[in-house]
Amino acid sequence: MIKCFVFAICSLPLACSNDSANEPADAPAVAVIDARVQEIVGACDHLAAPGVWEEISPVPGYMPHPDNEGKWGAAAVVTHPALHGTIYASVGYMGVWKSTDCGSTWVKLNTGRHGTDLDTGIQFDLHVVPGQGAEPDLLYANNWIGVIPAFFKSTNGGVDWDPLYDKSSNVEALVELGGWGNQMGVDPADARHLIIDFHANCKSPRIALCMGESTDGGATWRLFDGPQRDGLKGWQEAAVPYFVTPTHWIYAAHAGIFSTTNSGATWTFVRYPGGTWHLETAGMYYIAGDDGVLASADGGSWTPLAGSHASNAIVATGKEIYTGSQFDSVGTLWRASQSNPTSWTAVPMPTAGKNAGATSLAYDGAHRVLYSSNHRSGLWRMVIE
């Protein structure tokens, strides 16, 4: 889906640092950035006036595909946490792209190993880990409906990609459809620590809804049973696993919100209706929920925010929260103050049609640019007031 989150690796023995005094005033809270990653504000010289939406799709128009209702466009957008002005985006059946000027120009990344395999799928789930010093960024992505439907990893900034498991792995042995990847969670404290769920059922001895954990960047996997409840008998569309702590995880699905505090050994049902994408900022957790935005101070107890709307994409600017739904036929976003998110205002977009709403949202605080990937209606940016 999309909303995709940006995490940074924290390699011992150097400590991680998150000096808020050095962040742009309106920067959203992000996962800890390694002290060796320098923040740089790049040039974005071709932005429109505040409040004006601009389409910046890497590949203008829509991509035809016979197996997915005919067309697909922008799938995900992610801002780089250290290089402000740099964004990554995925386009259905056209791979992963990068811009260093807020989306005015683009370079296609997946031109090397397994690059053509990514062009057969959709990368709804895209994660960017900033490189240290001269090192390239590390990227993780799913490859929904692709020839190889596994999760992929790139260690050279998106040029070459490798699946995180193959036919010799326990994942393909115990998960149907080649371990078809659904969504991934990346530990904010250690980008080698991953949890995943699948777009396929699992086989015995696992229950149908199983998940995977890796502590070595996907080299090896531990499979474990996901939550069990009436109506939750197998894999769940668009369900998202994510970290609260290294051992406290959330499984957010349309069938409900579930929590584990012991790395998946046991699960607790939290609430229904459920939701999908999440956001952590300023000591609060949020889920884009089916009955509105859900908020939590501890990742355990969730409360719907009054006046909020059903959504599947969410982002914070440091002052405001923006949400959207890809199923909105006119693509309207909604915003509310982070200090008192109970009054929501519509933010119209110049998009229309089936699935014209946001699949993911991102924000660049240094340039005050809000990004929205809108499925069949393309990728958009707007400087906010």
Instruction: List the domain range (segments joined by +) for residue 156.
Output: 16-383
pLDDT over 90, % of the chain: 70
Q: Is residue 9 part of a domain?
A: no
3 inside domain: no
Structural domain count of the chain = 1
CB 363 within 8 A of CB 314: no
pLDDT higher than threshold 50 for residue 350: yes
Mean per-residue pLDDT, 241-264: 95
Is 11 among the domain residues? no
Q: What predicted TM-score, i.e. pTM, was given to this entire model? A: 0.89
How confident is the prediction for the chain on average, in pLDDT? 86
User: Averaged over 2-10, what is the pLDDT?
Assistant: 31
Find the mean pLDDT for residues 345-361.
Answer: 87
The residue with greater pLDDT, 327 or 282, is 327
Residue 6 domain-assigned? no
What pLDDT score does 134 carry?
86
Residue 64 is assigned to a structural domain of this protein: yes
**Residue 4 forms part of a structural domain:** no
Q: Is the pLDDT of residue 47 over 50?
A: yes
- With cut-offs at 50, 70 and 90, classify the pLDDT of residue 36: low
Does residue 214 have a pLDDT over 50? Answer: yes
Per residue in 53-102, pLDDT (tens digit) is 999 999 876 554 545 554 467 899 999 999 999 999 999 889 999 999 99
The whole-number pLDDT of residue 31 equals 35
* Residue range 172-182: mean pLDDT, rounded: 96
- What's the CATH code of the domain at 116? 2.130.10.10
Q: Is there a domain that residue 10 lies in?
A: no
Confidence of residue 8 (pLDDT cuts 50, 70, 90): very low
